[in-house]
């Protein structure tokens, strides 16, 4: 099992570049996609093309799925031509699709009588990370199955994080995507504010990308093992209290600018309300756009 035969099902925008990183795997690769044209580049590179998920499981003992949604995951696993129709005892199936939080555990329970282990390993890094092999993989599942799958997963990304039992990877991905899309909403609001103020948005985008590379962006404050308030003697507390003060001051100024320019800033107002708790240093505070340097415990 040092070089298990690998399988990949779902050769879309993310799945195809991921699977291509397995084409030179010593144990071989079998692929399947409902779109026949998607498999042609793999056949040209020496991979076996199966006619169904069951055909993949006839050959492969470590199988990745990157399909669209929960329904497709279930069909690929337990449909008439699904993996469980042919999978051998000891097979490991890795679900990369972003699905509902409880789906991986439900699939694992379905597979257990067949001797098939399931991991959930959604990815972060997008198409660029898939092409470059720099994805982050958030893995949930049994340690033995994770150990078996890790050499293959390490070909796909530069960070393979085992986060806990089955389902932990999916829960982590949902939390990670909350950061992404909430940030996008903030970008929309900030762009409207900057545009109304006459700022060049393309150049502002360059500044944001540059500074995020330096500071680490939102992940820079994710240094703690709990989301609760920081103890009084925690070394991070004075740093985060300082960050809270700066943030509340600058958010107040942005909200004030929005009021001056007639730009609504609901994201900024919610950020002002929640910033202290997010940093683990909640406190009594008030929003005063007329006197931005004044307030409770700034």
Secondary structure (H, E, C), 218-258: HHHHCCCCCCCCCCCCCCCHHHHHHHHHHHHHHHHHHHHHH
On whether the CB atoms of residues 15 and 66 are closer than 8 A, the answer is: yes
> Which positions of the chain have pLDDT values less than 70?
1-2, 289-298
Q: Which residues pair with 160 in a beta bridge?
A: 137
Q: What are the tokens at 151?
A: 């050499």
Burial class for 109, CB neighbours closer than 10 Å (0-12, 13-18, 19+): exposed
Residue 204 lies in a domain: no
Domain limits for position 269: 223-298
Same domain for 159 and 52, yes or no, is yes
Q: Please name the residue that has the structure tokens 């986060």.
A: 163
CA 208 to chain centre: 21
Burial class (CB in 10 A: 0-12, 13-18, 19+), 12: middle
Cα distances (Å, whole numbers) of residue 59 to 18, 27, 86, 223 = 19, 10, 9, 43
Does 156 lie in the same domain as 236? no
The CATH number given to whatever domain includes residue 293 is 1.10.1040.10
Buried b (16+ CB within 10 A) or exposed e, 257-276: bbeeeebebebbbebbeebb
209 located within any domain: no
Residues annotated catalytic, as ranges: 173
The CATH number for 149's domain is 3.40.50.720
Residue pLDDT, tens place only, 119-135: 999 999 999 999 999 99
Domain boundary among 155, 171, 187: 171
- The closest of 90, 96, 101 to 76, measured between CA atoms, is 96
What integer pLDDT is reported at residue 296 of this predicted model? Answer: 41
One domain, residues 23 and 162: yes
pTM of the model: 0.91
Is residue 181 domain-resident? no
Asked whether residue 39 falls in the same domain as residue 161, the answer is yes
Whether residues 161 and 243 share a domain: the answer is: no
- The answer to whether the Cα torsion of 182, 183, 185, 189 is positive or negative is positive
One domain, residues 258 and 165: no
Neighbours of 3 (CB within 10 A): 11
Please list the residues that pair with 94 across neighbouring strands.
Answer: 64, 119
Note whether 9 and 53 are within 8 A (CB).
Answer: yes
Name the DSSP class of 87. Answer: P
Of the candidates 29, 110, 37, the residue with the CA atom closest to the CA atom of residue 63: 29
pLDDT in tens, 39-97: 999 999 999 999 999 999 999 999 999 999 999 999 999 999 999 999 999 999 999 99
* DSSP of 31-63: EE-SSHHHHHHHHHTT-EE-SSHHHHHHH-SEE
């Amino acid at each position: 099992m040092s070089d298990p035969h690998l399988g990949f099902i779902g050769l879309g925008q993310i799945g195809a570049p991921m699977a291509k990183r397995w084409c030179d795997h010593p144990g071989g690769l079998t692929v399947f996609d409902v779109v026949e044209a998607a498999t042609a580049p793999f056949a040209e590179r020496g991979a076996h093309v199966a006619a169904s998920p069951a055909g993949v499981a006839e050959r492969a003992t470590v199988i990745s799925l990157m399909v669209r949604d929960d329904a497709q995951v279930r069909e690929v696993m337990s449909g008439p031509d699904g993996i469980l129709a042919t999978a051998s005892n000891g097979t490991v199936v890795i679900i990369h699709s972003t699905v509902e939080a409880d789906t991986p555990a439900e699939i694992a329970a379905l597979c257990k009588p067949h001797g098939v282990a399931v991991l959930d390993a959604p990815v972060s890094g997008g198409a660029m990370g898939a092409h470059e092999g720099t994805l982050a993989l958030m893995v949930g599942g049994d340690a033995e199955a994770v150990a078996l799958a890790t050499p293959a997963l390490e070909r796909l990304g530069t960070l393979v994080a085992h986060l806990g039992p089955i389902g932990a990877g999916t829960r982590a991905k949902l939390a990670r995507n909350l950061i992404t899309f909430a940030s996008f909403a903030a970008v929309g609001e900030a762009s409207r504010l900057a545009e109304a103020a006459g700022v060049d948005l393309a150049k502002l985008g360059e500044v944001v990308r540059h500074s995020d590379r330096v500071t680490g962006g939102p992940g820079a404050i994710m240094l703690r093992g709990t989301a609760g308030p920081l103890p009084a003697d925690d070394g991070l507390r004075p740093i985060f209290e300082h960050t809270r003060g700066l943030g509340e001051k600058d958010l107040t100024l942005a909200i004030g600018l929005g009021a001056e320019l007639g730009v609504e800033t609901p994201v900024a107002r919610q950020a002002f309300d929640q910033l202290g708790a997010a940093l683990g240093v909640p406190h009594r505070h008030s929003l005063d756009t007329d006197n931005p340097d004044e307030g409770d415990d700034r």
